[in-house]
Structure 1
Amino acid sequence: MSQRNLVSWTAMVTGFSQNLHYFEAISTFCEMRIAGENPTQFAFSSVIKACASVGLVEFGEQIHCLALKFGFASDIFVVSNLVDMYSKCGVMVNAYNVFQEMECKDEVLWTALIDGYAKNGPFEDALSAYKNMVKEGIGIDKFVLCSTLSACAALKALNFGKCLHSVMVKKGFELEISVGNALTDMYSKAGDMESASNVFGIDSDCRNIVACSSLIDGYVELDRMEDALSVYVRLRRQGIEPNEFTFSSLVKACSSQAILEQGTQLHAEVIKFNFDGNPFVSSVLVDMYGKCGLLDDSIQVFDEIENATEFAWNSMLSVFAQHGLGKDAIQLFNRMKNEGVEPNAITFFKAMEKTYGVVPREEHYSCVIDLLGRAGQLKEAEDFINKMPFEPNAFGWCSFLGACKIHGDKERGKLAAEKLMQLEPENSGAPVLLSNIYAKEQQWEDVRTLRKMMQDFNVKKLPGYSWVDVGNKTHIFGVEDWSHPQMKAIYDKLDALSGQIKAAGYVPCTDSIPLDVDVSVKEKILQHHSERLAIAFALISIPSGKPIIVKKNLRVCSDCHSAIKYISKVIGRKIIVRDNSRFHHFSNGLCSCGDFW
């Protein structure tokens, strides 16, 4: 065009913005200003929308100033887009200020503000804004209802969400796909899976991947793995393709419950649907294999991630920490820094505030207590505790107590146990550990006093169980358990192993039994601990090419730890034991934990 007027410039800016060519819209707006044209409210609205879509909040602020200069501060189109722009860019203070300056507020303006609060928080403000919108008599549509439901989901505000559900039914929105998705998500996040399932099953059109993923995530959060997998099977039968969120939730569930068989099957599905290159899904797989004991698989998945996110690095660091591989964790941390990934509060402690501006939290202080305890620097650990800005949490005192037990520091152990019992009076771990310290010193009167105290306060020692997966079945063992159908073969194997490891140099650590009984009785009790029964069963059931992975609900006792080291040596197989503290990789008479756990 040889001559361009305000109409043609505005048409181009609006056209680019409406057809998702946002940078072209912004560039054309700038050219329009250079050409000396004064923008209309439509040009301003279009360029502000473009800024919102690409997150250019600083340029949007400049456009905001220009709009004020040209007298559009009260134009409903411009103001609505400004509120939407600030909301989408997470600057809710500016969004609220612009909203407040507008005298006549319509449903578009209210919706933009509520949606901003629902996405960025504070979520309570989204609910308050909705109430005020209703008081003002502004018309309610499905968009504002869905945004408010999203805030309810984040707050787990079930009662408010139910009220919104009633409004949706009254207005006839219930069968809308977006509404069904929002309701399913709200009920799932609030833990009301019965209502979530009812909404999910109202109409076949609601059964899309968004609703399915919400339902799966809700079941996963409640540890209802079978129900989550059932939804996955249903969506596959209906021809709905899963997305990265579906797989992330399911693999996360396998990770938390250490279900290796299901986890590997899901990994195959991930590859089938080409999500193995997704950084988030891969990060969850790293965590899953690590928690299931397959360290090499975890490392392999991590190494195959092309652009590892902060979450992926933290997952791999956590796996190394769980498996007692401190040097590997430090090397990985250095790699992380070299590749330009900034550590966050989960990653590390020393110099974190000074160098990276990350304020240390309780768990970081607890890690330092654990670190000093492992090094046997109990006085330094005690001094560190005394200088902390707050009292250690249960993990911190438990770490300190465990270190006192390992290094035989009775006095500091007593202090740690007392603090731990104050924090968690129902937890039997502290008195049991302190009892073991007294038993090691043969202070049987103190042991009896502790046992009486536990009886008086109705503190019951948690029974020890170990389990091992063979095929698709989990086999559980208790101490001196005779309930398994193959128990004769198991005990025969255990007797043979006991002879072999004694010949190799194993000496029973009877000090770990806090009972004033004969040594031979103590040896028999130790020999029939649950983890040894599980290992014996695994040896007669699992082929030599497969790993032996045993899980235990309590910490492995010092004698069993010693015995398993010798078992790994005499049978020439790697044994992985996950107790409630960490993974132990036993191989050729050594353990990855360095005999400290």
Structure 2
Amino acid sequence: MLWQEAVLSLAERGNEQATTFVFNRAIHACGQARRWQQALQLLDQLQQERLRPTTITYNSAIGACEKAGDWKRALQLLHALSEQPLSSTQVTYIAVISACAKAEEWQSALFLLLDLQQSRVQHNVAIWNAAMSSYISRGLWQQALDILAEGLCRQQVEADVVTYNAMISTCTRRGQWQLALSTFASLVSLSLQPDLVTLNSVISAFGAAQRWEEGWALLLEMPKRNFKADSFTFTAAINTCQSGQWELSLAALEYMRMQALQTDVAAYNAVVSTCGTASRWEQSLQVFKELQFILQADVITYSAAISSCGEATQWLQALTLLSELTLGRLRLDSFAFSSVIRACGKADLWEKALTLLSQLPRHHLQAGQVVYNAAQGAFVDHWQMAVALFCELLSQKLGSATSGAAAITACGRAGLWNLGLCLLEELRKHVVKLDESVYLAAGRNFLGPWQRAQDSLRTLQQSGLQP
């Protein structure tokens, strides 16, 4: 029923007495349409007509507030319900907790969960799972883990497969693949039966850990567990190949097509990136073109293809792809520009790299550290540009070990080792942590002149001459 029809039927009933059931249906319809104001007005009207609200009445009103993200009103209705001779249910608490999660009031949600211990509501792991899922769907990973820990330790809630799935997925997305894999091991040790969601998340964790063999072993083991791999499974498996297993990623994509599994942009992007990592730019472009024929390439696809060409010094191909990207309706990012700039640098096209760098403001992009580092690499044989860019980086507090090493190398190649030492000193002042690349660059470029001076001095001494 549409909310307008529900409200209109109550308004046009004349002297006919409505029932609580009719009001409940109307309040629920308003909630589904995110019309929380009308839902609360109907609740007030119900009470004014001396009808008795039920738990369903309050649950419908709270659900309307939850959809609108009005956590304060949801809490107020929960309090009002507690003052009635009615009983709250799991549905009541889940709706209020979800409203708190939408407003990122995670502490209020946690207090509600803890309040369950004193309430008459029969609670189990389902309500904790619902709370976790609500936070995970909004990207609040740490809060979801806090809720899980509280439920397991303080409330003595016995976790089920859904709980473990949520935790494994959360840890994987936060880059905590070690914790994700140890959680899976705990699930197995408790003799819980993993489901397809579990296995997909674990394969993703193996991908994050760059342990492609174990990820694919789990994929091949799925038929023995009576599971049929879906498109998410194969996309996760393709993502495990990022360390260079390009043939495997192509085979997985072909198998998905043969099995009529849905091949989305994410799967193609993973294959394009994998081929690029393995320096197979031709295969990367081929997959990119196949994607354009079947689906709509996104900025990630373009960036991955551009990076593949850039790493293989195919600067003309990279520039062509960048031109297509800038002419399209996709939102640009600086990563694509940095890849083309790096490709131009490898081809000693520093003027083209400088032109690309100047085009960033036109596309409403800022040249961050990644772009500047790529440009520094392009100017390695042009010390004036390299030093000027390095000084610009320091002034914007974007100096890094990578940019410093490139500027020092440029000075070394030009024989300006005194200037290079000055840059090294400036880098030490402005950059907190220097890695070995800086000192290796200094050693390679300044050790030569020093060694030659030492050799000349030794030759003079052996000739009986005094310097």
The 3 A distance-change label for structure 1 pair 374 and 47 is farther
Query: Does residue 514 in structure 1 map to residue 448 in structure 2?
Result: no
Query: Does residue 199 in structure 1 map to residue 187 in structure 2?
Result: yes
Unaligned runs of 5+ in 1: 1-23, 338-342, 350-361, 465-512, 522-597
Residues 137-172 of structure 1 show CA distances to partners (whole Å, capped at 9, x for unaligned) of: 75422221112333676423556523423467x45x
Say which of 328, 347, 353 aligns to 2:321.
Answer: 328
Looking at secondary structure, tell me which structure has more strand per residue.
1
1:184 shift after superposition: 4.5
Partner of residue 104, structure 1 = 81
Instruction: Provide the TM-score with structure 2 as the length reference.
Output: 0.67
Query: Does residue 446 in structure 1 map to residue 405 in structure 2?
Result: no
SS in 2 for 1:57: coil
Looking at secondary structure, tell me which structure has more helix per residue.
2
Say which of 276, 287, 292 aligns to 1:303.
Answer: 292
Partner of residue 34, structure 2 = 57
Query: Does residue 213 in structure 1 map to residue 218 in structure 2?
Result: no
1:273 shift after superposition: 4.0
1:75 shift after superposition: 4.5
The 3 A distance-change label for structure 1 pair 333 and 163 is same
Aligned residues: 404
The 3 A distance-change label for structure 1 pair 378 and 162 is closer
Unaligned runs of 5+ in 2: 83-87, 310-314, 345-349, 453-467
Q: Tell me, yes or no, if the aligned pair for 1:378 and 1:403 is still in contact at 8 Å.
A: no
Say which of 253, 257, 265 aligns to 1:271.
Answer: 257
Say which of 126, 145, 148 aligns to 2:128.
Answer: 145
CA distance in 1, matches of 2:421, 2:341: 30
CA distance in 2, matches of 1:208, 1:328: 41
SS in 1 for 2:228: coil
Say which of 219, 226, 232 aligns to 2:219.
Answer: 232
CA distance in 1, matches of 2:255, 2:365: 48
Partner of residue 251, structure 1 = 238
SS in 2 for 1:274: coil
The 3 A distance-change label for structure 1 pair 318 and 188 is closer
Say which of 407, 410, 427 aligns to 1:437.
Answer: 410
Counterpart residue type for residue 93 of structure 2: W
Partner of residue 436, structure 2 = 460
Q: Tell me, yes or no, if the aligned pair for 1:270 and 1:276 is still in contact at 8 Å.
A: yes
The 3 A distance-change label for structure 1 pair 183 and 97 is same
Say which of 356, 376, 401 aligns to 1:401.
Answer: 376
The 3 A distance-change label for structure 1 pair 423 and 441 is closer
Residues 102-153 of structure 1 show CA distances to partners (whole Å, capped at 9, x for unaligned) of: 4234243222122345578455553344235446675422221112333676
Q: Tell me, yes or no, if the aligned pair for 1:405 and 1:437 is still in contact at 8 Å.
A: yes
- Superposed CA RMSD: 4.8
Q: Tell me, yes or no, if the aligned pair for 2:246 and 2:271 is still in contact at 8 Å.
A: no
SS in 2 for 1:248: helix
Partner of residue 316, structure 1 = 301
SS in 2 for 1:68: helix
The 3 A distance-change label for structure 1 pair 332 and 44 is farther
CA distance in 1, matches of 2:351, 2:119: 62
CA distance in 2, matches of 1:134, 1:396: 54
Structure 2 matches for 1:7-406, cutoff 5 A? 29=6, 32-33=9-10, 36=13, 40-46=19-25, 49=28, 56-58=33-35, 61-71=37-47, 75-87=54-66, 89=67, 91-92=68-69, 94-102=70-78, 103-105=80-82, 106-107=88-89, 108-118=91-101, 121=104, 123=106, 125-134=108-117, 138-150=121-133, 154-156=140-142, 158=145, 160-166=147-153, 170=156, 173-174=158-159, 176-185=160-169, 191=177, 192=179, 193-203=181-191, 206-254=193-241, 256-289=242-275, 292=278, 293=281, 294-306=283-295, 308=296, 312-322=297-307, 323=309, 325-332=318-325, 334-335=327-328, 337=329, 343=330, 347-348=331-332, 374=352, 376=354, 393-399=368-374, 401-402=376-377, 404-405=379-380
Partner of residue 412, structure 1 = 388
Q: Tell me, yes or no, if the aligned pair for 2:27 and 2:39 is still in contact at 8 Å.
A: yes
SS in 1 for 2:436: coil
Counterpart residue type for residue 438 of structure 1: C
SS in 1 for 2:286: helix
1:415 shift after superposition: 1.0
Q: Tell me, yes or no, if the aligned pair for 1:286 and 1:316 is still in contact at 8 Å.
A: yes
The 3 A distance-change label for structure 1 pair 270 and 156 is farther
CA distance in 1, matches of 2:379, 2:112: 55
Counterpart residue type for residue 411 of structure 2: Y
SS in 2 for 1:242: coil
Q: Tell me, yes or no, if the aligned pair for 2:376 and 2:389 is still in contact at 8 Å.
A: yes
CA distance in 1, matches of 2:267, 2:20: 44
CA distance in 2, matches of 1:38, 1:365: 69
CA distance in 1, matches of 2:107, 2:340: 37
Counterpart residue type for residue 388 of structure 2: R
Q: Tell me, yes or no, if the aligned pair for 1:373 and 1:403 is still in contact at 8 Å.
A: no
CA distance in 1, matches of 2:376, 2:203: 40
Q: Which deviates further from its counterpart, 129-138 or 26-35?
A: 26-35
1:303 shift after superposition: 2.2
CA distance in 1, matches of 2:266, 2:371: 31
1:32 shift after superposition: 4.9
Partner of residue 465, structure 2 = none
1:240 shift after superposition: 0.5
Residues 309-357 of structure 1 show CA distances to partners (whole Å, capped at 9, x for unaligned) of: xxx422233235423534434434545x3xxxxx5xxx237xxxxxxxx
SS in 2 for 1:514: helix
The 3 A distance-change label for structure 1 pair 181 and 442 is closer
Counterpart residue type for residue 196 of structure 1: F
Instruction: Provide the TM-score with structure 1 as the length reference.
Output: 0.54
